[in-house]
């Protein structure tokens, strides 16, 4: 009996180990709560309830939070998620923060794109900032969108809100690029991801193949230079005006650029205008990103 008791005793960890394991588990859960609360701009109590309901899987909890419930009674005391933004619908410009008229959405003679480093690595006010990105997409209805510094929760949010776009990510972990194609305007063929073996910043090249418009020669042009170097969109990263980073240093750079090559034959896409977007603060007191976005309009000549 004593031997049996001794054998049973070996199966149970000492009380000190149990306490250490419980403390480590609680510490991990506290970190998950803090991350959830930061991403959703909610409080820790709500974060814990959502994570408990999702068996402490962060991505599952975020998906459940951002996904509108099928029945309002299923909210269970949580703040109801924002209604889905249908980017195919017209937008009342009086409710936006940019005094620019809505572009003609199906004008075959025009083509538009937005490129934007949305700073998904900044978790502060992320839901407000993600909603701001969707508002700009709804306002301008670009045919193609290039996004940088996307993270999985941000990607999930865009998938649920940007219902009129096909979204192709450059990765599924960490932070990555993504390309959005407006379904009614761009025919998606295939994509490929070219890895950078020596990168220390998780970078790669995301290439999306769409309907072709003839061959491409070797001459590559910087659109900002092509349009005469307009001063109003010279700098896309400006800590003099953008306070998101709250840095003591003041500097400005043209980090974000758009390059293009004219078609050797067939239709031509010629840059028409270039503007900065995201220059206004949101109601939360922050900008959508520490980078301004670039909106480029083209003339399509067939």
User: How far is residue 258's CA from residue 226's CA, in Å, rounded to a whole number?
Assistant: 10
**Model pLDDT for residues 168-212, shown as the tens digit of each residue:** 999 988 889 999 999 998 889 999 999 888 887 788 899 988 875
Q: Give the confidence band of 13 by pLDDT, cuts at 50, 70, 90.
A: low
Burial 122-159 (b: 16+ CB within 10 A, else e): bbebbbbbbbbbbbbbbbbbbbbbbbbbbbbbbbbbbe
Instruction: Report yes or no on whether pTM surpasses 0.85.
Output: no
pLDDT of residue 210: 82
Residue 167 has pLDDT above 90, yes or no: yes
Comparison of pLDDT for 220 and 226, the residue scoring more? 226
| Residue of 10 and 147 predicted with greater confidence | 147
Look at residue 2 in the predicted model and tell me its pLDDT. 36
Instruction: Please list the residue range(s) of the chain that carry CATH number 3.60.10.10.
Output: 93-301
Residue 82 has pLDDT above 50, yes or no: no
Q: Tokens 């000190």 identify what position?
A: 16
Mean pLDDT across 262-285: 88
pLDDT of 91 reads 37
**CATH topology assigned to domain 16-75:** Helicase, Ruva Protein; domain 3 (1.10.8)
> Could you read off the pLDDT of 129-146 as tens digits, one per residue?
999 999 999 999 999 999
Q: Where in the chain is the domain with CATH 1.10.8?
A: 16-75
Question: pLDDT, tens digit, for every residue of 36-56?
Answer: 777 666 788 888 888 888 888
Percentage of residues of the chain with pLDDT beyond 70: 78
Q: Which residues pair with 150 in a beta bridge?
A: 176
The pLDDT of residue 127 is 87
Average pLDDT over residues 259-286: 88
Triad 134, 135, 138: Cα angle to 5°: 85
Give the whole-angstrom CA distance, residue 149 versus residue 147: 7
- Mean pLDDT for 235-257 is 89
Specify the pLDDT at position 49. Answer: 87
Q: What confidence score (pLDDT) does residue 118 get?
A: 96
List, in order, residues 6 or more apart from 183 with CB less than 8 Å away: 164, 165, 166
Q: Which of 1-10, 48-57, 216-225, 273-282 has the highest mean pLDDT?
A: 273-282
**CB–CB of 120/150 below 8 Å?**
yes
User: pLDDT tens-digit profile of 92-123?
Assistant: 433 333 333 334 446 778 889 999 999 998 98
Strands (E), 3-126: 110-117
Give me the architecture of the 93-301 domain, per CATH.
4-Layer Sandwich (3.60)
Distant-in-sequence contacts of 75-82, Cβ < 8 A, 24+ apart? 76/49, 77/49, 78/46, 78/49, 78/50, 79/42, 79/46, 82/127, 82/131
Cα separation, 146 vs 236, in Å, equals: 15
Strand partners of residue 112: 297
User: What's the pLDDT band for 289 if we cut at 50, 70, 90?
Assistant: very high
If one compares 302 and 177, the residue with the highest pLDDT of the two is: 177
Q: Tell me phi and psi for residue 27, to 5 degrees.
A: -65, -40
Q: How confident is the model at residue 12 (pLDDT cuts 50, 70, 90)?
A: low
pLDDT of residue 80: 39
- The pLDDT, as a whole number, for residue 219 is 72
Summary mean pLDDT of the chain: 79
């Amino acid at each position: 009996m004593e031997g049996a008791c001794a054998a049973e005793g070996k199966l149970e960890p000492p009380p000190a180990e149990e306490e250490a394991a419980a403390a480590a588990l609680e510490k991990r859960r506290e970190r998950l709560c803090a991350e959830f609360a930061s991403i959703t701009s909610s409080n820790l109590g709500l974060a814990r309830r959502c994570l408990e309901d999702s068996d402490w899987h962060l991505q599952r909890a975020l998906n459940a939070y951002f996904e509108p419930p099928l029945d309002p009674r299923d909210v269970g005391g949580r703040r109801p998620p924002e209604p889905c933004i249908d980017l195919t619908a017209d937008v009342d410009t009086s409710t936006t923060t940019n005094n620019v008229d809505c572009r003609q959405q199906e004008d075959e003679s025009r083509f538009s794109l937005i490129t934007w480093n949305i700073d998904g690595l900044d978790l502060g006010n992320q839901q407000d900032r993600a909603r701001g990105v969707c508002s700009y997409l709804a306002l301008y209805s670009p045919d193609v969108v290039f996004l940088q510094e996307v993270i999985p929760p941000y990607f999930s949010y865009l998938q649920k809100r940007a219902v009129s776009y096909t979204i192709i990510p450059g990765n599924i972990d960490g932070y990555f690029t993504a390309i959005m194609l407006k379904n009614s305007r761009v025919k998606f063929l295939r994509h490929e991801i070219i890895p950078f073996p020596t990168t220390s910043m998780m970078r790669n090249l995301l290439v999306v193949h769409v309907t072709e418009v003839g061959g491409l020669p070797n001459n590559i042009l910087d659109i900002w230079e092509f349009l005469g170097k307009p001063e109003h969109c010279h700098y896309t990263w400006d800590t003099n005006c953008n306070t998101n980073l709250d840095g003591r240093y003041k500097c400005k750079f043209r980090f974000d650029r758009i390059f293009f090559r004219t078609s050797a034959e067939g239709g031509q896409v010629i840059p028409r205008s270039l503007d900065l977007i995201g220059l206004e603060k949101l109601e939360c007191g922050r900008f959508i990103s520490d980078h301004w976005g670039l909106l480029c309009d083209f003339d399509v000549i067939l």
